[in-house]
């Protein structure tokens, strides 16, 4: 199915009260994501719902997905970090709070952080991400604080569907499960979204596409989002997180995802450039440089247990050889190292065929298989990001996949540690 563009009647309009802000928001504007940077401040560690696709890991540099951060900041630390980033990144336009838990489940910290940054920069564009459970309670304060962009993750409308997605909802001191939990969550999401849009807040609806669970209902979620006045919807593929209830769940293919987006675009505009960012992401959407601003470099070996290590052959995806900063499918060359965790020897630079050519064309099977075959003599691949299916296929060749986003040297040490721990099990 080709791209279907919405007509003017179906397109949300930017409220007159916030001219230009949405044009500088990289998540709300296709053009802005190539020009403007954002930063996420991880000041919200607690969450009030349990999603079956979520496993929130703090101090985890080797994963790039929502709910992951390498540090949790206090509001004062967040203000100081904002000042540092603002001084170094001239095109910083948006300051967001996206966890690693839920922004509204940590409202005191979230509110204080926004107040401190507003004192430093009256022109800062604020953005919050939330599951929406506490929106009816805090939406008035959100508006008062000048938060003009709010993202709500709303995966369904039917509580029976929600019962399969959410393990629990903790609301007003009571923990609910099953259909009752989902019913409370959906009701509060709808009420909160409607309130915000009527106050001129630009609302983005995130939807995690779960095949066989909520995919049949996603078009109805998009219609309801439009009805409530949302600006855009972002249909995202599941990232099967290790340790989550859905860790073995099938990932949605790029073609399935785009077919769903094309269908829903008949009702509401679609975001097609989402990178499913970490809770501490900084920089352009296509170039997360959060590692440059961490308080301390990640330590590759955190376990107290000493493991006897040997040398391993590791393929590294790196643009210039210093950082692990390439998606597996985007690489045209891998650096092949032999490493024991302390000594790293570059053996060769190995060319492969790039099989991911963009968001709409990332399933070039022939090129993908060639890339997998080219690395089958390695013990591991070290990349910034890799798709679930590619991970599985490498594993069948006894090649471990390591997602990482710091220096090549620390990444090699971390990878050796992971390989050694695996052999010790």
Q: What is the 3-state secondary structure (H, E, C) of 198-223?
A: HCCCEEEEEEEECCCCCCCCHHHHHH
The string of pLDDT tens digits covering residues 6-41 is 333 333 444 444 445 665 565 665 555 556 677 888
In the prediction, which pLDDT does 62 show? 34
Label the pairing between strands 282-284 and 232-237. unpaired
In the prediction, which pLDDT does 144 show? 92
The string of pLDDT tens digits covering residues 289-323 is 666 766 644 444 433 334 445 899 999 999 888 88
Residue 129, phi then psi, degrees to nearest 5: -120, 135
Calpha distance 204→133 (Å, rounded): 15
Calpha distance 122→357 (Å, rounded): 40
The residue ranges of the chain whose pLDDT is under 70 are 1-36, 55-70, 240-243, 245, 273-277, 283-291, 293-309, 355-366, 423-425
Calpha distance 315→312 (Å, rounded): 10
Calpha distance 51→57 (Å, rounded): 14
DSSP codes, 157-177: S-HHHHHHHEEEEEETTEEE-
In the prediction, which pLDDT does 283 show? 67
In the prediction, which pLDDT does 180 show? 94
Beta-carbon contacts of residue 338 (< 8 Å; ≥ 6 apart):
311, 312, 313, 314, 344, 345, 347
Domains annotated for the chain, with CATH where assigned, are 8-292 (3.20.20.70), 299-424 (3.30.420.130)
């Amino acid at each position: 199915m080709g791209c279907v563009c919405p007509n003017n009647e179906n397109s949300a309009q930017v409220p007159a009260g916030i001219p230009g802000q949405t044009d500088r928001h990289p998540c709300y504007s296709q053009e802005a994501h190539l020009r403007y940077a954002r930063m996420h401040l991880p000041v919200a560690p607690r969450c009030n719902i349990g999603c079956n696709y979520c496993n929130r890991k703090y101090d985890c540099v080797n994963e790039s997905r929502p709910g992951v951060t390498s540090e949790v900041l206090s509001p004062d630390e967040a203000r100081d970090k904002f000042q540092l980033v603002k001084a170094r990144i001239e095109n910083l336009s948006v300051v967001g709070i996206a966890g690693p838990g839920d922004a509204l489940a940590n409202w005191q910290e979230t509110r204080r952080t926004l107040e401190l940054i507003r004192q430093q920069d009256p022109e800062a564009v604020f953005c919050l991400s939330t599951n929406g459970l506490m929106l009816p309670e805090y939406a008035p304060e959100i508006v008062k604080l000048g938060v003009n962009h709010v993202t709500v993750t709303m995966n369904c409308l039917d509580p029976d569907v929600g019962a399969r997605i959410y393990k629990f909802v903790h609301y007003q001191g009571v923990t609910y499960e099953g259909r009752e939990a989902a019913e409370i969550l959906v009701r509060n999401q709808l009420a909160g979204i409607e309130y915000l849009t009527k106050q001129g807040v630009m609302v983005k609806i995130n939807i995690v596409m779960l095949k066989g669970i909520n995919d049949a209902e996603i078009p109805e979620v998009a219609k309801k989002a439009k009805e409530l006045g949302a600006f855009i919807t972002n249909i995202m593929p599941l990232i099967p997180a290790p340790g989550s209830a859905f860790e073995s769940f099938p990932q949605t293919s790029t073609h399935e995802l785009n077919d769903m987006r094309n269908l829903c675009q008949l009702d509401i505009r679609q975001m097609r450039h989402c990178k499913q960012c970490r809770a501490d992401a900084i920089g352009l959407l296509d170039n997360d440089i959060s590692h440059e601003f961490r308080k301390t470099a990640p330590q590759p070996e955190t376990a107290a247990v000493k493991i006897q290590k040997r040398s391993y052959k590791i393929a590294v995806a790196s643009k210039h050889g210093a950082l692990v900063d390439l998606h597996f499918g985007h690489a045209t060359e891998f650096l092949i190292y032999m490493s024991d965790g302390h000594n790293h020897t570059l053996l060769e630079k190995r060319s492969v065929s790039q099989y991911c050519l963009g968001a709409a064309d990332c399933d070039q099977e022939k090129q993908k298989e060639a890339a997998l075959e080219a690395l089958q003599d390695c013990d591991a691949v070290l990349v910034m990001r890799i798709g679930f299916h590619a991970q599985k296929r490498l594993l069948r060749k006894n090649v471990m996949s390591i997602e990482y986003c710091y220096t090549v040297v620390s990444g090699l040490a971390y990878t050796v540690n992971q390989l050694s721990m695996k052999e010790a099990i």
